[in-house]
């Protein structure tokens, strides 16, 4: 198996188009992505490391960062449970309208985040039809993040569950294992890598979310103000270095999550082979 992958990944050398493709690709990436990010990092340390530290440890900044990390972590954990349950229902259960429900999972990816926020505010805000009003609370914040991160775990787990042979589960059942034991001992260990990578992506997305939370959270400092909203506010009030300092921290978190997922995947390929 490993040899096959190596063969597939072997580059075709000597193709005259290759250096051009490489140059164009890296050039485009540098111009669109790397150059702005370099300017951000440069801008964040314009006043020296001391100024950076001062901005990053401002009371309001720390409070926003803490809230962001905690709510994103709760959101990621809830996604692990709900996402796995939804993926299970979509793969193993049968009911009318399943195709539509499956298509619906992609909606949070496709729906503009500001519309997602407005949507939740219409239902769970003042004057909502159920009389539930959680607007401008941390619950609202969590709801908005759950909405936008819904597809990550579902879409990561679904293909693995589809591939998973039911033979092992049937064998366990015939040996008298209860459904919960089968799930815990057989299904869950097979799904775990997919769940983890889905959870990591959902966490990263939740940490950076802006559009969905801006209307429903009320952006109250020390209460419902998350990091991205804090950055936006600092920029609006002219504190560019404060905005840049917190941005660099968010950038570090995003990169950390991505590199973590990459390292985890490489580690698994090596151990499966």
Partner 1 sequence: MARYALRFGALGYLALLLLVPVGLVFYRAFENGAGHAWDAVTTHQALHALELTLLIAAIAVPANTVFGIVLALALVRTRFPGRGLVNAVVDLPLALSPVVVGLALFLLYGRGGWLGGLAGHGVKILFALPGMVLATMFVSLPFVVREVVPVLREIGTDQEQAAETLGASPLQVFRRITFPAIRWAVAYGVVLTTARAIGEFGAVSVVSGRIEGRTETLPLYVQSQFEGFDTSGAYAASVVLAMIAIGTVVGLRVLHPREEVA
> How far is the C-alpha of 1 from the C-alpha of 63, rounded, in Å?
49
Residue 54 or 88 with smaller CB distance to partner 1: 88
One of 88, 133, 173, 223 touching partner 1 (CB under 8 A): 88
Shortest distance, position 211 Cβ to partner 1, whole Å = 4
Separation between Cα atoms, residue 154 and residue 88, nearest integer Å: 9
Q: What secondary structure does DSSP assign to 110-124, as a single string?
A: HS-HHHHHHHHHHHH
- Quick note: the x/- pattern for partner 1 over 105-134, rule CB under 8 A, is xxxxxxxxxxx--xxx-xxx----x-----
* DSSP per-residue string spanning 204-273: HHHHH--HHHHHHSTT-TTTT--HHHHHHHHHHTT-HHHHHHHHHHHHHHHHHHHHHHHHHHHHHHHHH-
CB of 9 to partner 1, least distance (A): 7
In the complex, the smallest distance separating the C-beta of residue 69 from partner 1, rounded to whole angstroms, is 13
Number of residues in contact with partner 1 under rule CB under 8 A = 95
Separation CA 257–CA 190 (nearest Å):
22
Q: Which positions from 217 through 246 interact with partner 1, judged by CB under 8 A?
A: 227-229, 231-232, 235, 240, 243-244
**Least distance CB 245 / partner 1 (angstroms):** 11
Q: Under rule CB under 8 A, which residues in 18-47 are in contact with partner 1?
A: 18, 21-22, 24-26, 28-29, 32-37, 39-40, 42-43
Calpha distance 230→60 (Å, rounded): 8
Check if the beta carbon of residue 237 is closer than 8 Å to that of residue 155: no
Q: 49-56 vs 59-92: helix axis angle to the nearest 10?
A: 60
61, 64, 76, 86: which one contacts partner 1 (CB under 8 A)?
86
Stretch that binds partner 1, among 57-65, 145-153, 169-177, 185-193 (CB under 8 A): 145-153
Q: Identify whether the C-beta of residue 183 lies closer than 8 Å to the C-beta of residue 164.
A: no
**Closest to 248 (Cα-Cα) out of 79, 13, 5, 53:** 53
Q: Using the rule CB under 8 A, is 143 a contact of partner 1?
A: yes
Q: Which of residues 155-214 bind partner 1 (CB under 8 A)?
A: 158, 162, 179, 201, 204-205, 207-211, 214
To partner 1, the closest distance from the beta carbon of 23 in angstroms equals 9
């Amino acid at each position: 198996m490993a040899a096959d992958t190596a063969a597939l990944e072997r580059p075709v050398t000597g193709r005259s188009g290759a250096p051009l493709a490489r140059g164009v690709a890296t050039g485009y990436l540098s111009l669109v992505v790397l150059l702005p990010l370099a300017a951000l990092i440069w801008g964040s340390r314009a006043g020296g490391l001391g100024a950076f530290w001062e901005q990053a440890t401002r009371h309001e900044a720390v409070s926003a960062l803490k809230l962001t990390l905690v709510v994103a972590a709760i959101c990621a954990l809830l996604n692990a449970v709900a996402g796995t349950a939804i993926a299970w229902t979509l793969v193993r259960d049968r009911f009318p309208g399943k195709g539509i429900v499956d298509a619906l999972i992609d909606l949070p990816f496709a729906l503009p985040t500001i519309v997602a926020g407005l949507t939740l505010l219409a239902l769970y805000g003042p004057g909502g039809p159920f009389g539930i009003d959680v607007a401008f609370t941390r619950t609202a914040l969590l709801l908005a993040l759950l909405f936008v991160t819904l597809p990550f775990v579902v879409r990561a787990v679904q293909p693995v569950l589809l591939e998973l042979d039911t033979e092992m589960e049937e064998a366990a059942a015939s040996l008298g294992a209860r459904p919960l034991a089968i799930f815990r001992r057989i299904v869950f260990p097979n799904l775990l890598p997919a769940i983890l990578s889905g959870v990591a992506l959902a966490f990263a997305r939740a940490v950076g979310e802006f559009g969905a939370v801006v209307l429903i959270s009320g952006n109250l400092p020390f209460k419902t103000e998350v990091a991205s909203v804090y950055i936006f506010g600092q920029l609006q009030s002219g504190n560019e270095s404060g905005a840049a300092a917190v941005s660099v921290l968010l950038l570090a978190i995003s990169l950390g999550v991505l590199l973590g997922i990459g390292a985890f995947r490489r580690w698994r390929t090596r151990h499966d082979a």
